[in-house]
Every structure is written in structure tokens, then in C-alpha cells.
Amino acid sequence: MRTQLSPPEPIELSGPTALPAAGEVGRVERSARPGVLGPVMLVLARLGVVAVLVGIWQLGSSEGWWDPQTFGKPSGALSALGDYLGSPRAATSLRATGTAVLISFLVGSASGTLAGLALGMSRRADTLLAPFLPAVNSLPRIALAPLFIVWFGLGTTSKVALAVSYVFFVLAENARSAVQSVDDDLRRMAQMNALGRIGTVTKVILPSAVPTMFGGLRLAFAYSLLGVIGSEMIAAPSGVGQDLLYFSSSYQINAVFGILAAIVALAVAVNFLISALQRWALRWQRV
């Protein structure tokens, strides 16, 4: 006698065993990946690393593990920074340095990006001029600071010129590489759809190159600070670089560390601002 097998009953997935929706798959995979911290925990972990390092520094200075007159201490640096920021000297210096950094960042970023885009989109110009970019960029620009001072004087112009010489070549090479890294298939699709040169640039090249270009902007701000403060340390009527030189030569180590800590905090804040601007510019990717 043949036994008839009944078909298996369908299994219903509901409640905690239900599969995630299609739009939530990536989110589930990221959250299930081991070793990946959430954004809040990541910030707390980074702050914890800084707190441990500062605590070791403070403890070592207080316990005499190293000479606090030579290496300073965090509490002394914080106190010296407060005294510095409340002084008329700081108001003059911060105004001079901030103006030069802002101008050099804007001028260097705009001119360098436009030059890099032009090189990236013109094969003839790129073949002719691209080899000069790394050659000129390898020059120690800080060694040219005395020449900039002779040419432009001790004012803001010489500081801006030196900083722009840093930022321009970094952004030019960055934008050029970003354009050349755009997928050729996207370029061919733009040609097939008759977008034209302007349409190809605005709808294909720039959206594809945005992440790389924003990475260059982070470097641009750092190089703006480097160029301006370095120029001020060589010769300037006022500025944060001159203050660093004065405090170090007068052996006020805590004041030096306090100003350096403020510069680092400013750079971190600008980096977060540029990252937020990048997320806004790439919001179309999340649609």
C-alpha cells in the first residue's frame, strides 16, 4: 500500500523572526557588523582617548615624572590660554591671522579647484601642464617666505600669498584626480543623451567628484593655517605665529601649548563643518 505524503505546511515569518524590509537591509548589516561603534559611542571613545592622554600628561607633570617647566601641564596651558584670549594682544593677533587664513582658504580653494577641473577635462592641457604640478608642489614653500615678504611687504598680502601657494597646488591636483577618476561609462552615457559639455560637468563630473574634492578642502584649511602661521613666525607685525614665537622664546611653555590646543580645536571644528557640508551636497545619494 502506497503512503501518500502531504505537502509541508508553509512557514509564516512574523514577529521577531520576520525578515527586514528591503530598505533596512543595509542598516541591519551595519548594526550587526562586529566592532563597529555607533556615532555617539565613537565620539565618546575619541573623547575618552583624549582624556586619558591629557590625564597622563597632567599626572606626569604634577608628580615630577618630567619637568613641567619644559613640557608644561594641561591645567597651566588652559589657564595661560584664558589669559591670552582675554588680552588685547590676542584680539589683534586673532584678527590678523583669521583674516589671512580666510582669504587664503577661499582664494586658494577656488583657483586651485578651477585649475584642476580645467586640467582634468582637457587632455591636451593635462598632458602639457600636469607634470609641473608635483614639481612645483615639492618646493619647500616656507623657505620662500622671505621672498614673499620682500615682494609683498609685511602685511596680510605676503601671508596670503604664501598660504595660497600651498592650497592652490593641493586643490588643483585633488580636483584633477577627481575628474579623471569619473567612470568612463558615465561619460559615454552623457554623450549618448546629448547633455553637452556644461550638462556633463554639472550632472556627471561634479557629482561624481564631490567626495574627493571635499577631502581636498579639509587639507586646504590645514595648509591655510600652516602657510599663514609659518609666515607670521618668520616676519609679521602681528599674528598668532608671532605670539607663538614670543612665548616660546620667553619660555612660556604653557602659553605655547594653550595656543596650539586652540588651533587644533579650530581645525577639528572646521573639519566637522566641511563633513556636514559634504553630507548636504551628497544628500541626493540617500534618496
Identify residue 260 by its one-letter amino acid code. Answer: L
Write the Ramachandran bin of 6: left for phi over 0, alpha for psi from -120 to 50, otherwise beta: beta
Which of 220, 101, 108 lies closest to 165 in space, CA to CA?
108
Instruction: Give the pLDDT of residue 196.
Output: 65
Q: How many residues does the chain have?
A: 287
> Grid coordinates standing for 215?
577631502
Instruction: Give the pLDDT of residue 27.
Output: 47
Whole-angstrom Cα distance, residue 73 to residue 56?
A: 10
Identify residue 91 by its one-letter amino acid code. Answer: A
Q: For the chain, give the longest Cα–Cα distance.
A: 109
Whole-angstrom Cα distance, residue 223 to residue 229?
A: 10
Instruction: Give the pLDDT of residue 32.
Output: 46
Predicted confidence (pLDDT) at residue 146 exceeds the cutoff of 80: yes
How much is the average pLDDT of 29-55?
Answer: 74
How many CB atoms are closer than 10 A to CB 93? 23
Whole-angstrom Cα distance, residue 225 to residue 166?
A: 10
DSSP 35: T
> Grid coordinates standing for 1?
500500500
How many CB atoms are closer than 10 A to CB 56? 12
Find out whether 252 and 89 touch, Cβ atoms under 8 Å.
no
> Grid coordinates standing for 227?
602657510
HEC string of 165-213? HHHHHHHHHHHHHHHHCCCHHHHHHHHHCCCHHHHHHHHHHHHHHHHHH
Instruction: Give the pLDDT of residue 19.
Output: 46
Residues 6+ away with beta carbon under 8 Å from 257:
72, 74, 77, 80
Whole-angstrom Cα distance, residue 280 to residue 109?
A: 19
Instruction: Give the pLDDT of residue 183.
Output: 67
Predicted confidence (pLDDT) at residue 236 exceeds the cutoff of 80: yes
Instruction: Give the pLDDT of residue 34.
Output: 52
Find out whether 72 and 61 touch, Cβ atoms under 8 Å.
yes
Predicted confidence (pLDDT) at residue 213 exceeds the cutoff of 60: yes
With a pLDDT cut of 90, the percent of the chain lying above it is 15
Domains with residue ranges and CATH for the chain = 81-286 (1.10.3720.10)
DSSP 235: S
- Pick from 31-40, 131-140, 208-217, 240-249: least confident: 31-40
Residue 100, phi then psi, degrees to nearest 5: -65, -40
DSSP 16: G
What is the chain's mean pLDDT, rounded? 79
How buried is residue 104: exposed, middle or buried, by Cβ count under 10 Å (0-12/13-18/19+)?
A: buried
